[in-house]
Amino acid sequence: MDELSVLFCRPMAGYAGHDRFEREADVVDWMELDAHVIGAELVVEDEPERALEDVPEGGGRTFLYRGVILSEEQYEGLYEAVLDRGDTLVVDPAQYAGALYVPEYHPSFADVSPPTRWTFGTDLDDAWEAARELGEPPWLIKDHVKSAKEHWHEACYIPAGASRDDFDRVATRLIELHGDRFERGFVIRKFLQLATTGVRTVDRRIPDEHRLFFWRGELVAHSPYHEVGEPLTDTAPFEALGTRVDSPFFTIDIALLERG
Protein backbone atom coordinates (compact mmCIF):
# COMPACT_ATOMS: atom_id res chain seq x y z
CA MET A 1 0.00 0.00 0.00
CA ASP A 2 1.24 3.50 -0.80
CA GLU A 3 2.41 5.84 1.98
CA LEU A 4 -0.73 7.42 3.36
CA SER A 5 -1.82 9.53 6.26
CA VAL A 6 -5.11 8.72 7.99
CA LEU A 7 -7.83 11.28 8.64
CA PHE A 8 -10.27 10.08 11.28
CA CYS A 9 -13.62 11.86 11.42
CA ARG A 10 -15.00 10.84 14.81
CA PRO A 11 -17.59 12.02 17.30
CA MET A 12 -15.99 14.32 19.83
CA ALA A 13 -16.56 15.24 23.48
CA GLY A 14 -19.96 14.46 24.90
CA TYR A 15 -20.77 11.67 22.41
CA ALA A 16 -22.67 8.98 24.29
CA GLY A 17 -22.82 6.32 21.55
CA HIS A 18 -20.36 3.71 20.33
CA ASP A 19 -17.37 5.16 18.47
CA ARG A 20 -16.63 2.35 16.04
CA PHE A 21 -13.35 3.94 14.90
CA GLU A 22 -11.74 3.90 18.34
CA ARG A 23 -10.13 0.52 17.73
CA GLU A 24 -8.80 1.57 14.32
CA ALA A 25 -7.34 4.73 15.83
CA ASP A 26 -5.61 2.67 18.53
CA VAL A 27 -4.07 0.40 15.88
CA VAL A 28 -2.87 3.37 13.84
CA ASP A 29 -1.25 4.84 16.97
CA TRP A 30 0.40 1.50 17.73
CA MET A 31 1.78 1.37 14.17
CA GLU A 32 3.04 4.96 14.53
CA LEU A 33 1.37 6.03 11.31
CA ASP A 34 0.72 9.68 10.55
CA ALA A 35 -2.89 10.27 11.59
CA HIS A 36 -5.13 13.15 12.61
CA VAL A 37 -8.60 13.36 14.12
CA ILE A 38 -11.31 15.87 13.23
CA GLY A 39 -14.72 16.34 14.80
CA ALA A 40 -17.56 14.69 12.93
CA GLU A 41 -20.06 17.21 14.26
CA LEU A 42 -18.41 20.13 12.45
CA VAL A 43 -18.13 18.26 9.15
CA VAL A 44 -21.77 17.17 9.29
CA GLU A 45 -22.75 20.78 10.02
CA ASP A 46 -20.91 21.88 6.84
CA GLU A 47 -18.00 23.48 8.67
CA PRO A 48 -15.06 21.37 7.46
CA GLU A 49 -12.62 24.29 7.66
CA ARG A 50 -13.23 24.55 11.40
CA ALA A 51 -12.95 20.79 11.76
CA LEU A 52 -9.48 20.91 10.19
CA GLU A 53 -8.13 23.78 12.30
CA ASP A 54 -5.97 21.52 14.48
CA VAL A 55 -4.53 19.57 11.53
CA PRO A 56 -1.14 20.96 10.39
CA GLU A 57 -1.41 22.54 6.94
CA GLY A 58 0.30 21.56 3.72
CA GLY A 59 2.98 19.05 2.95
CA GLY A 60 1.18 17.42 0.05
CA ARG A 61 -0.12 14.55 2.15
CA THR A 62 -2.65 12.05 0.85
CA PHE A 63 -5.23 11.18 3.48
CA LEU A 64 -7.24 8.00 3.75
CA TYR A 65 -10.61 9.01 5.19
CA ARG A 66 -11.94 6.83 7.99
CA GLY A 67 -14.96 8.19 9.73
CA VAL A 68 -18.68 8.60 9.99
CA ILE A 69 -20.77 8.26 6.85
CA LEU A 70 -21.07 11.66 5.19
CA SER A 71 -23.45 12.70 2.45
CA GLU A 72 -21.90 13.33 -0.96
CA GLU A 73 -22.19 17.08 -0.34
CA GLN A 74 -20.56 16.89 3.09
CA TYR A 75 -17.72 14.76 1.75
CA GLU A 76 -17.18 17.14 -1.16
CA GLY A 77 -16.98 20.04 1.29
CA LEU A 78 -14.35 18.20 3.32
CA TYR A 79 -12.46 17.23 0.16
CA GLU A 80 -12.28 20.85 -1.01
CA ALA A 81 -11.25 22.08 2.44
CA VAL A 82 -8.40 19.55 2.54
CA LEU A 83 -7.29 20.61 -0.95
CA ASP A 84 -7.28 24.26 0.08
CA ARG A 85 -4.78 23.36 2.80
CA GLY A 86 -2.34 21.70 0.40
CA ASP A 87 -3.32 18.06 0.96
CA THR A 88 -5.80 15.67 -0.65
CA LEU A 89 -8.05 12.72 0.11
CA VAL A 90 -7.25 9.52 -1.76
CA VAL A 91 -10.92 9.04 -2.73
CA ASP A 92 -12.48 11.91 -4.67
CA PRO A 93 -16.15 12.95 -4.22
CA ALA A 94 -17.41 11.17 -7.34
CA GLN A 95 -15.70 7.94 -6.28
CA TYR A 96 -17.06 8.33 -2.76
CA ALA A 97 -20.64 8.73 -3.99
CA GLY A 98 -20.25 5.85 -6.42
CA ALA A 99 -19.48 3.46 -3.58
CA LEU A 100 -21.99 4.91 -1.11
CA TYR A 101 -25.43 5.22 -2.72
CA VAL A 102 -27.30 2.06 -3.69
CA PRO A 103 -28.55 3.39 -7.07
CA GLU A 104 -24.93 4.22 -7.96
CA TYR A 105 -23.35 0.86 -7.24
CA HIS A 106 -26.21 -1.66 -7.46
CA PRO A 107 -26.05 -2.09 -11.26
CA SER A 108 -22.51 -3.42 -10.85
CA PHE A 109 -23.57 -5.87 -8.13
CA ALA A 110 -27.08 -6.89 -9.19
CA ASP A 111 -25.97 -10.45 -9.91
CA VAL A 112 -24.79 -10.94 -6.32
CA SER A 113 -27.46 -8.88 -4.55
CA PRO A 114 -31.08 -9.50 -3.52
CA PRO A 115 -33.70 -8.19 -5.98
CA THR A 116 -33.77 -4.44 -5.32
CA ARG A 117 -35.86 -1.39 -6.19
CA TRP A 118 -35.50 2.24 -5.15
CA THR A 119 -37.26 5.57 -5.25
CA PHE A 120 -36.22 9.19 -4.94
CA GLY A 121 -37.86 11.23 -2.22
CA THR A 122 -40.18 10.13 0.56
CA ASP A 123 -43.43 9.47 -1.32
CA LEU A 124 -44.99 6.34 0.18
CA ASP A 125 -47.05 5.55 -2.92
CA ASP A 126 -43.87 5.40 -5.00
CA ALA A 127 -42.19 3.22 -2.39
CA TRP A 128 -45.14 0.82 -2.24
CA GLU A 129 -45.23 0.48 -6.02
CA ALA A 130 -41.50 -0.23 -6.07
CA ALA A 131 -41.87 -2.86 -3.36
CA ARG A 132 -44.71 -4.59 -5.21
CA GLU A 133 -42.42 -5.02 -8.22
CA LEU A 134 -40.46 -7.46 -6.05
CA GLY A 135 -43.46 -9.70 -5.49
CA GLU A 136 -44.93 -10.53 -2.11
CA PRO A 137 -43.10 -9.63 1.11
CA PRO A 138 -41.02 -10.17 3.22
CA TRP A 139 -38.91 -7.13 2.28
CA LEU A 140 -36.25 -4.96 3.84
CA ILE A 141 -36.44 -1.18 3.57
CA LYS A 142 -33.71 1.44 4.03
CA ASP A 143 -32.70 4.77 2.54
CA HIS A 144 -30.10 5.06 -0.23
CA VAL A 145 -27.28 4.57 2.29
CA LYS A 146 -28.34 3.05 5.61
CA SER A 147 -30.98 0.87 7.17
CA ALA A 148 -32.40 1.15 10.67
CA LYS A 149 -31.76 -2.52 11.41
CA GLU A 150 -31.26 -1.77 15.10
CA HIS A 151 -35.03 -1.07 14.96
CA TRP A 152 -35.68 -4.26 13.03
CA HIS A 153 -39.45 -4.74 13.29
CA GLU A 154 -40.18 -1.07 13.72
CA ALA A 155 -38.30 0.47 10.78
CA CYS A 156 -36.53 -2.15 8.67
CA TYR A 157 -38.28 -5.51 8.21
CA ILE A 158 -41.63 -5.88 6.46
CA PRO A 159 -42.90 -9.42 7.11
CA ALA A 160 -44.78 -11.85 4.91
CA GLY A 161 -48.44 -10.94 4.68
CA ALA A 162 -47.83 -7.27 5.47
CA SER A 163 -50.55 -4.86 4.36
CA ARG A 164 -50.15 -1.43 2.82
CA ASP A 165 -50.74 0.08 6.25
CA ASP A 166 -47.99 -2.11 7.70
CA PHE A 167 -45.64 -0.98 4.94
CA ASP A 168 -46.44 2.69 5.45
CA ARG A 169 -45.90 2.38 9.19
CA VAL A 170 -42.41 0.90 8.79
CA ALA A 171 -41.41 3.34 6.03
CA THR A 172 -42.65 6.33 8.01
CA ARG A 173 -40.78 5.21 11.09
CA LEU A 174 -37.60 4.88 9.04
CA ILE A 175 -37.97 8.51 7.93
CA GLU A 176 -38.59 9.60 11.51
CA LEU A 177 -35.55 7.78 12.87
CA HIS A 178 -33.18 9.06 10.20
CA GLY A 179 -34.54 12.59 10.34
CA ASP A 180 -32.42 15.03 8.34
CA ARG A 181 -29.95 12.19 7.69
CA PHE A 182 -32.50 10.36 5.53
CA GLU A 183 -30.57 9.91 2.29
CA ARG A 184 -32.33 10.64 -1.00
CA GLY A 185 -35.06 8.00 -1.09
CA PHE A 186 -36.16 4.48 -0.26
CA VAL A 187 -34.42 1.23 -1.15
CA ILE A 188 -36.53 -1.92 -0.90
CA ARG A 189 -34.97 -5.36 -1.11
CA LYS A 190 -36.38 -8.84 -1.19
CA PHE A 191 -35.65 -10.44 2.16
CA LEU A 192 -33.33 -13.45 1.97
CA GLN A 193 -32.79 -15.81 4.87
CA LEU A 194 -29.16 -15.48 5.93
CA ALA A 195 -26.87 -17.83 7.78
CA THR A 196 -26.50 -16.75 11.39
CA THR A 197 -23.75 -16.54 13.98
CA GLY A 198 -25.77 -18.37 16.61
CA VAL A 199 -26.18 -15.17 18.63
CA ARG A 200 -29.60 -13.65 19.08
CA THR A 201 -30.92 -10.22 20.06
CA VAL A 202 -34.44 -9.46 21.21
CA ASP A 203 -35.50 -8.78 17.60
CA ARG A 204 -33.56 -11.25 15.49
CA ARG A 205 -30.71 -13.67 15.06
CA ILE A 206 -27.40 -11.97 14.22
CA PRO A 207 -26.52 -12.82 10.59
CA ASP A 208 -23.14 -14.09 9.45
CA GLU A 209 -21.95 -10.89 7.77
CA HIS A 210 -18.45 -9.72 6.86
CA ARG A 211 -16.82 -6.48 5.78
CA LEU A 212 -14.28 -6.62 2.96
CA PHE A 213 -11.68 -3.88 2.44
CA PHE A 214 -10.36 -3.21 -1.07
CA TRP A 215 -7.33 -1.15 -2.04
CA ARG A 216 -6.78 -0.41 -5.73
CA GLY A 217 -8.95 -3.35 -6.70
CA GLU A 218 -7.36 -5.90 -4.38
CA LEU A 219 -8.88 -7.44 -1.27
CA VAL A 220 -6.50 -6.43 1.52
CA ALA A 221 -8.46 -7.17 4.71
CA HIS A 222 -11.70 -8.60 6.01
CA SER A 223 -13.42 -9.09 9.34
CA PRO A 224 -16.78 -10.19 10.75
CA TYR A 225 -19.21 -7.28 10.57
CA HIS A 226 -20.49 -7.93 14.08
CA GLU A 227 -18.38 -8.49 17.17
CA VAL A 228 -19.33 -12.15 17.03
CA GLY A 229 -18.70 -14.83 14.46
CA GLU A 230 -15.61 -16.27 12.81
CA PRO A 231 -13.44 -14.76 10.04
CA LEU A 232 -13.89 -16.00 6.50
CA THR A 233 -11.80 -19.04 5.70
CA ASP A 234 -12.08 -18.69 1.91
CA THR A 235 -12.03 -15.23 0.32
CA ALA A 236 -11.48 -16.40 -3.26
CA PRO A 237 -15.16 -15.99 -4.30
CA PHE A 238 -15.06 -12.31 -3.33
CA GLU A 239 -11.70 -11.13 -4.60
CA ALA A 240 -12.97 -10.21 -8.08
CA LEU A 241 -15.52 -7.80 -6.57
CA GLY A 242 -12.75 -5.25 -6.23
CA THR A 243 -12.82 -4.52 -9.95
CA ARG A 244 -16.49 -3.49 -9.91
CA VAL A 245 -16.09 -0.16 -8.11
CA ASP A 246 -14.23 2.83 -9.54
CA SER A 247 -12.52 3.88 -6.33
CA PRO A 248 -9.04 3.27 -4.92
CA PHE A 249 -10.44 2.38 -1.50
CA PHE A 250 -13.85 1.06 -0.50
CA THR A 251 -15.55 -1.55 1.64
CA ILE A 252 -18.17 -4.14 0.75
CA ASP A 253 -20.42 -5.89 3.24
CA ILE A 254 -21.32 -9.47 2.38
CA ALA A 255 -23.61 -12.00 4.02
CA LEU A 256 -23.72 -15.77 3.75
CA LEU A 257 -27.06 -17.33 2.83
CA GLU A 258 -28.70 -19.93 5.03
CA ARG A 259 -29.01 -22.25 2.05
CA GLY A 260 -25.29 -21.94 1.29
The whole model's pTM is what?
Answer: 0.92
Query: Measured on CA atoms in the order 38, 43, 45, 50, is the torsion positive or negative?
Result: positive
- Structural domains for the chain: 5-90 (3.40.50), 115-190 (3.30.1490)
Q: Could you read off the pLDDT of 140-180 as tens digits, one per residue?
A: 999 999 999 999 999 999 999 999 999 999 999 999 999 99
Show the low-confidence residues of the chain (pLDDT under 70).
1-2, 13-20, 260
Name beta bridge partners: 214. Answer: 219, 250
The pLDDT assigned to 92 comes to 98
Nearest CA to 177 among 158, 153, 161? 153
User: How many whole angstroms separate alpha carbon 26 and alpha carbon 76?
Assistant: 27
